[in-house]
Amino acid sequence: MGNTSSSEKAVFFFFLFLFFVSILLTGKLIAPFFDIIILGLVFTSIFIPIYKFFLKKFSVTLSSIITCSIIFFVIFVPVLFFIGILSKEAYDLYSMAKDAVLRNQLKQLLQNNHALEIINDFFANMGFQTSLSWDDFINHISDIGKFIGLSMFQQASFIASNVFKIISYFCLMLIVVFYLLIDGEKFASYIYNLSPLPDEHNKKILKKFKDMAGAVLIGNGLASLIQGICGGIVFFIFGLNSPFLWGVIMGFLAFLPIVGIGLVLIPSGFFLMLNQRILAGIFMILFYGILSLGIEYVFKPKIVGDRVKIHPLVIFFAIIGGLKLYGILGIIYGPLIITLFLTLVDIYFASFQAIVEPKH
């Protein structure tokens, strides 16, 4: 701009001002639909192989319609079907904890065991004076039961009472998917042209996003579904309360690496042992170990492969942080955000480190 006149500079800066104002206004305009757009992008990247399969036999529009119909019946219909069951079991758990039924059952079970006395004697021999009592332990378990039951019931009730709104949002997401399937390549090309980064960097970021979306929803999603169903079946076989509810909880916990469904199955195994069901308790813990190892080292590598190489601890904190900031969608947002950061770090080391830190 060294040879430009003052009037040309004024025009340029006025253009920049208008451009940034338009960005702010556009951002505010689409902010209410941000979740819909992100989910649309994620589902498009996952279901595009199905779209390409139908594209060999049908037109572009018909292939996109068929793919969107599959998404609707595979994802949305089962969710609505299970909401009623989940709501009932969550309310039953909350009622048991609230009405002291759960507390009395635990008290009757635990007071017949001498485990707490052994623990107190152990700490006393180590020089620590403790006064642990079953009442404190039972109160904490009862509070956890009330919290889980009430939280799940509120979520299920919210969905049930806002069915029309949720259907509307899901249909909007399907509209996004419909047009992305048809014009996704044009949209990606437009983003490449708009971005100041080289095309190779833009393609790398997009590829990492697709890989992570596939890992979260296909790999982790299917793995979580399998673990939740298996955990719920085991709860049902051994006659434990609310098998469907605990199956759903285990399904969500299975997204977390490192801990996962062990947060439910291991305590359940010890609970069965305290209830004089030693073999059932041992089976529960062994079942957790076999299922988790099989999913982690056999199922996930076959489904996801080596596309996403991020340490499990990083994924763990990404999901926990995502859940805290964005709610249930944080399961998707957390890994995607950390993927963007790590991809940009790779690009920095490959292309920009020499500029920032020139070698002497």
* Site of tokens 């296909």: 218
Q: Give me 39's structure tokens.
A: 């989910």
Nearest to 185 by CA among 306, 36, 51: 51
66-123 pLDDT, tens digit per residue, is: 999 998 888 877 776 676 666 666 666 556 555 554 555 555 555 555 555 655 665 5
Burial 159-170, CB ≥16 within 10 A → b, else e:
beeeeeebeeeb
Burial 245-283, CB ≥16 within 10 A → b, else e:
bbbbbbbebbbbbeebbbebbbebbebbbbbebeebbeb
- pTM for this one? 0.66
Nearest to 316 by CA among 334, 328, 303, 299: 334
140-199 pLDDT, tens digit per residue, is: 555 655 555 556 556 656 655 566 777 888 889 999 999 999 988 888 888 888 777 787
